[in-house]
Chain A
Amino acid sequence: MKKKLLSLALVSAMTASLFVGCGDAAKSADGNDQATEEAAGELTWKIGGIGPTTGGAAQYGTGVMNAIQIAVDEVNADGGINGYQIAFNFQDDEADAQKSVNAYNTLKDWGMQILEGTVTSGACTAVSAETYNDRIFQITPSASSTDVTTGHDNSFQICFSDPNQGTVSADYIADNGLAAKIGIIYDSSDTYSSGVYQNFATETQAKGLEIVATEAFTSDSKTDFTTQLQKCKDAGAELLFLPFYYTEAAIVLTQANQMDYAPIFFGVDGLDGILSVENFDVSLAEGVYLLTPFAADAEDEATQSFVSKYEEQFGGIPNQFAADAYDGVYIIKEAIESANLTPEASNEEICEALISAIQSVNYNGLTGENMTWNAAGEVSKDPKAVVIQNGAYVSVQ
């Protein structure tokens, strides 16, 4: 018993020292930071990023992290923002809401002034409540749920929102008479996928399109889609709406091909990236529609320079989320410049100034021309449908 008691005392002491140690470390680190900055007279912009870099959604967060890094390096090489360099810190959240809040708190301890994140919708909703309370300006490259921006005046999106994507997809299908009978497969365990699905279903009703099959899958069974495809096929669906990510879409396309089912496939922005899945037979994606404002093989100089830098530094071809994240840094830069801020300002001052500044920004970037933001935090760019032809995106209007 004595031994147990002692061991208990030991572990509690260790835990206590852990807590105390951390608190002290954080305190002294903060103190040091300020001290060194003041001593050297070198203030920096502290921009934080959050997204999954481990766990099942790691591929989406890693791209965003890499792209922000590229943009930050460019801006720094170019003299920074208003003459101040940017320090960038990206934290992993495994796409989990609680871990995302932990990541956010870590960044806060680091002294973050502006947050570019988080990558996934569910986690972003949790974090935007925190940034709202702490008055830290937040712009997310890829979290499309309206819960992110609703009621949070400090949160802005670079990507299209869920309702936006669902509505535009349904409108495009109806207006162009792509198909009369529509089948839907969506991920019923994913915030983003079910969000887009709901808005799409609402709009199809308004447009008088007929949904003949609505099939779901979950994160626990996202390898076998033959059944869902078979049911859509049996129901006579001429068009399949696929509001989910390219990882699963690659399987759907392969399995549909194996069963000789060739409807029109229509995806949203999560599908961007499918052409760069390693070893994927791109001929399977021929004729697939998707929503993306970004094409990695676009001719313009900005895109080409970004893509080549990305390939050189990290390997692989960046997708739309990476491009959105890259734009994000420049959007922040433009907003800061128009608000004429310096890093000396408090987080709250920066936040309030940027909230009004971003609404007057008119930005041309990789993912759109003349992007503007409204008070609700949504970006003005309209989702544009592209179709894959000969292994490349061709915009359709």
Chain B
Amino acid sequence: MKNMNKSTQKLLSTIGVIVVLYIVLSVMEGTGNLSSLLSGLLVPVCAYSLVAVGLNLCVGYLGELSLGHAGFMCVGAFASAFFSKVFMNTIPDVPRFILSLLIGTCFAALFGFLIAIPVLRLSGDYLAIVTLAFGEIIKNVINVIYIGMDSKGLHFSMKDMLSLGMEPGGTLVVNGAQGITGTPRQSTFTLAVILLILALVITHNFVNSRTGRAVKAIRDNQIAAETVGLPITKYKLIAFTISAAIAGVGGVLYAHNINSLIATTNNFGYNMSIMILVYVVLGGIGNFSGSVVAAVVLTLLPELLRGLSTYRMLIYSIVLIALMLFNWAPSILEYRNKHGLTAAAIAAKFKKKNTKEVS
């Protein structure tokens, strides 16, 4: 019971921080004090955070390394953008967005479920490579899908635009590698924050539920869990599907924030999957709030380094390596402990400084 309270406490404090940040940022945006760069980044940062939270559920609690979460994000993004585009003129804005959010999430969950059935038979790095493979397949297939719409309904092809056989005047909804253009922009910061908090609450409740405890037991010792009669496959499937669904929500947000949705290696391929994994590991495996913080910091970092022009990505990579060593290298951790450089100690100093500044 005590344990429960503490983790709930932590969740509440995280949500508190997010809400405070949200209010501060909204006020700043409202009064025109927020730079365009940051206000443009608010929604994408929340989207990446969501995917990171989803992946953290998979890596931290299921204990399986997935390199394909960008694929679920991709599915969520394309399914919802497709829906929004097709019903752009037939369903009013708000119900359409709610529906497309549901559709995006469900599709991502469905793909997560279907992929999990074979994938979860494997373990370790073999599982990682198969998820990577699925992510690449999703990206590759989406790049050759052509869907057009005319008065007769939808036309589908996996070859090219010509073989759709559309009437003249029909519109292309999904145009292969050119993706979906002109998705209505409906992701707002408010919405993104609500979804992010929702995801944090859901994951928190999930890991502390009966199912969640079973999942943790399986992670810690599968054989022991099996022996006490836990249905391993069922629990693994549930965790993986939820994880994929949350990534899908991130995709929906991403898709409804950008005019041109295309699937490339950098935004939905393995590069993005790896980037999200970086957020998870840097933020702390199994630490959902940490994932959010890491996603925020690492998305902002290259943007804030823009002043360095060509050196920016170089500095970024050095910072990444340094952060990893600082946070994980046993010898450095020992040194930090000895010299009072732990997060807690710094936080204490920081707090004192802050109060001084305020007063």
Contacts and interface: CB of A to CB of B under 8 A. Distances in A.
A14 B344 CA distance: 13
A108 B36 contact: yes
Contacts of B17: 8-9, 12, 16
B177 A194 contact: yes
Interface residues of B, number: 69
Contacts of B265: 219-220
B190 interface: no
A210 B40 CA distance: 48
A191 B144 contact: no
Interface string B336-353: 000000111011101100
A294 to B, nearest CB: 26
Nearest to B283: A11
A19 B20 CA distance: 12
B24 A19 contact: yes
A101 B266 contact: no
Contacts of A219: 264-265
B207 interface: no
Contacts, number: 198
A6 B264 contact: no
A382 interface: no
Contacts of B64: none
B38 A22 contact: yes
Interface string A255-275: 000000000000000000000
Interface in A15-69: 15-16, 18-20, 22-27, 53-55
Nearest to A214: B160
B312 interface: yes
- Which of B259, B263, B346 has the most CB atoms of chain A within a 10 A radius of its CB? B259
Contacts of A147: 178, 181-182, 260
Interface stretch (B90-98, B117-125, B212-220, B302-310): B302-310
B297 A15 contact: yes
B319 interface: no
Interface stretch (A91-99, A276-284, A372-380): A91-99
Given A9-B13, A11-B293, A125-B259, A92 B309 contact: yes
B21 A16 contact: yes
Nearest to A7: B343
B258 A98 contact: yes
A278 B46 CA distance: 43
A129 interface: yes
Contacts of A109: 35-37
A18 B34 CA distance: 12
Contacts of B36: 105-106, 108-109
Given A8-B13, A191-B178, A218 B35 contact: no
B303 A15 contact: no
Given A8-B289, A201-B160, A22 B304 contact: yes
Interface in A172-222: 187-191, 193-195, 197-198, 201-202, 205, 214, 216, 218-220
Contacts of B290: 8, 11
A189 B354 contact: no
- Which of B38, B182, B263, B310 has the most CB atoms of chain A within a 10 A radius of its CB? B38
A16 B306 CA distance: 20
A126 B342 CA distance: 43
Nearest to A97: B260
A13 interface: yes
Contacts of B242: none
A302 interface: no
A122 interface: yes
A353 B338 CA distance: 66
B161 interface: yes
A344 B303 CA distance: 29
B13 A5 contact: yes
A10 interface: yes
Contacts of B144: 188, 216
A98 B293 CA distance: 20
B37 A97 contact: no
A349 B102 CA distance: 42
A201 B344 CA distance: 64
Given A10-B343, A122-B178, A218-B140, A23 B28 contact: yes
B186 interface: no
Contacts of A128: 259
Nearest to B311: A54
A6 B178 contact: no
A59 B181 CA distance: 26
B177 A190 contact: yes
B40 A105 contact: yes
A20 B350 CA distance: 16
A94 B289 CA distance: 29
Interface in B250-309: 254, 258-267, 269, 289-290, 293, 296-297, 300, 303-304, 306, 309
A178 to B, nearest CB: 22
Contacts of A197: 160
A15 B313 contact: no
B136 to A, nearest CB: 7
A188 B176 contact: yes
A16 B293 CA distance: 10
Given A15-B297, A23-B35, A54-B313, A10 B347 contact: yes
Given A3-B342, A26-B37, A96 B266 contact: yes
B177 A188 contact: yes
A163 to B, nearest CB: 12
Interface string B114-147: 0000000000000000000000100010011000
Contacts of B60: none
A210 B346 CA distance: 72
Nearest to A62: B310
Contacts of B354: 13
B203 to A, nearest CB: 16
B14 interface: yes
Interface in B231-258: 254, 258
10 contacts: A11-B343, A18-B297, A19-B21, A19-B38, A20-B24, A22-B38, A101-B258, A102-B37, A102-B44, A123-B260
Interface of A: 1-16, 18-20, 22-27, 53-55, 91-92, 94-98, 101-106, 108-109, 121-123, 125-126, 128-130, 145, 147, 151, 187-191, 193-195, 197-198, 201-202, 205, 214, 216, 218-220
Interface of B: 6, 9-10, 13-14, 17, 20-21, 24-25, 28, 33-41, 44, 136, 140, 143-144, 160-162, 176-179, 181-182, 185, 254, 258-267, 269, 289-290, 293, 296-297, 300, 303-304, 306, 309-310, 312-313, 342-344, 346-348, 350-351, 354
Given A20-B24, A191-B177, 7 more contacts: A8-B293, A10-B350, A15-B21, A102-B41, A102-B303, A103-B306, A188-B176
